[in-house]
Amino acid sequence: MPYLTAPEALDTLLPDQPRYRIDQFREWLYRHPVLTTDEMTNLPLRVRQSLADRLWPMQVEVEQSGDGGRTVKWLFRAPDGVAVEAVLMGYPRRTTLCISSQAGCAMGCTFCATGQFGFDRHLAAGEIVAQVAYANAHLRARPMPGSPARVGNVVFMGMGEPLANYDNVREGIRRMIEVMGMSARSITVSTVGITPGIDRLAAEPWPVTLALSLHAADDHLREQLVPIDRRYPVEDLIAAARRFRGSHGRRVTLEWTLMEGVNDSAEQARSLAAIAVELGAHVNVIPLNPTPLAPQRRPSAERTRRFVEEVARYGATCTLRDTRGTEIDAACGQLRARSDARSPERATPVPAPPGRHP
């Protein structure tokens, strides 16, 4: 399994090959990924054939595209049966890939489809980086109209909590930067707020971007949405984000999934703005993608606009995330929710929604 082997140890897969062949193979895997080993034209036919059906650690079970071909979503299935999602989004000057760090998630946020399904397992570093390689291979074969044919930005905003799978996420990021050649700043780790993980990430040599999923400015509200808030309260998160930013100019974004009548008040907007200004952080408002089991609703466009304006009025920079991919269930966990609904034998038992509901 080439991606499940460290890029520095590929000789163990091809023990009879000279060093330059191993280097060529590593280039194909990380620098110029291709969908099949057939396309690795400078490798001997025997080598290509021996690796043909084990190039990718997970198989594409569903591929959907939307937004006129500028959004592509994959559901990948691993041999042990777990499934994860990745979403590719093409913009005029950048191509962004949203990847998963775990199959499922143990955090149980009440508004999140992944959280409602519970935790299956951690992804290996190779399964994490293979999502990026696969997207690059796909773009090489089928570029998106008007967007760069290479993934320029990676966001850990698919399934799972990246800082709960720290070592594998770290190794995945290392390979993206050191082997694929991506810039650290173009990689965003989105976290529900595991403060020891934020401190570990701050101590790494790469200035990756941190996105903190805040969603509420006080613990009373936040613990109803994000159960782990009881362990890592808002004050601790802010302190950890401040430390993260303090270490050579790393960037922090505050994520705010907007829910009608829950966290869209003027008062929450003002408290959020105060936190953002103090941290020098950018605010990203994400209108809720309703999920079948969540009680929360998406606010109207008018209410959403008012919330964003209120945050900006108090001096914070604030953007509204576009609702890219809604037509293909591109929100975290939703494609799997559908696929499992179609094949109930594979569905994971749905736990009782954790936490109290607003």
The interface region with ligand SF4, picked from 102-110, 278-286, 297-305, 339-347 by CB under 6 A, is: 102-110
Alpha helices in the chain (DSSP H): 19-26, 45-51, 113-117, 125-141, 166-174, 195-202, 219-225, 234-246, 266-279, 301-313, 334-342
255 binds, among ligand SF4, ligand SAH, none (CB under 5 to 8 A by kind): ligand SAH
**In the complex, minimum distance from the CB of residue 189 to ligand SF4, in angstroms, rounded to a whole number:** 12
Among 98, 105, 109, 332, the one annotated catalytic: 332
The CA distance from 85 to 327, in Å, is 15
The interface region with ligand SAH, picked from 10-18, 144-152, 283-291, 344-352 by CB under 6 A, is: 283-291
Among 85, 127, 255, 310, the one annotated catalytic: 85
- Token match 């576009």: residue? 322
- 109 in active site: no
**Which position among 109, 125, 187, 286 is part of the footprint of ligand SF4 (CB under 6 A)?**
109
**In the complex, minimum distance from the CB of residue 121 to ligand SF4, in angstroms, rounded to a whole number:** 14
**From the centroid of its chain, how far is CA 160?**
8
Does 288 participate in binding ligand SAH (rule CB under 6 A)? yes
Q: Which residues from 30-49 bind ligand SAH, rule CB under 6 A?
A: none
331 binds, among ligand SF4, ligand SAH, none (CB under 5 to 8 A by kind): ligand SAH
The CA distance from 182 to 146, in Å, is 21
The CA distance from 134 to 250, in Å, is 28
Max intra-chain CA distance, the chain: 66
Q: Which is nearer to ligand SAH, 83 or 286 (CB)?
A: 286
**Which position among 257, 263, 268, 271 is part of the footprint of ligand SAH (CB under 6 A)?**
257
**Which position among 88, 107, 155, 237 is part of the footprint of ligand SF4 (CB under 6 A)?**
107
The CA distance from 84 to 75, in Å, is 6
By CB under 6 A, how many residues form the interface with ligand SF4? 11
Quickly count: other Cβ atoms within 10 Å of residue 70's Cβ: 19
The interface region with ligand SF4, picked from 80-88, 110-118, 234-242, 244-252 by CB under 6 A, is: 110-118
By the 8 A CB rule, do 191 and 161 touch? yes
Q: Which is nearer to ligand SF4, 107 or 316 (CB)?
A: 107
Does 213 participate in binding ligand SAH (rule CB under 6 A)? yes
Phi/psi for 328 (5° steps) reads -110, 30
Residue-by-residue DSSP string for 131-152: HHHHHHHHHHHSPPTTS-SS--
The CA distance from 271 to 113, in Å, is 27
**In the complex, minimum distance from the CB of residue 106 to ligand SAH, in angstroms, rounded to a whole number:** 10
- 309 in active site: no
By the 8 A CB rule, do 316 and 137 touch? no
Q: Report the half-sphere exposure of 151 (CA within 13 A, side-chain side).
A: 34
**Which position among 111, 134, 244, 307 is part of the footprint of ligand SAH (CB under 6 A)?**
111
**In the complex, minimum distance from the CB of residue 286 to ligand SAH, in angstroms, rounded to a whole number:** 5
The CA distance from 97 to 199, in Å, is 25
Residues at the interface with ligand SF4 (CB under 6 A): 105, 107-109, 112, 114-115, 160-161, 192, 332
Residues at the interface with ligand SAH (CB under 6 A): 111-113, 156-157, 161, 190-192, 213, 255, 257, 286, 288-289, 291, 331-332
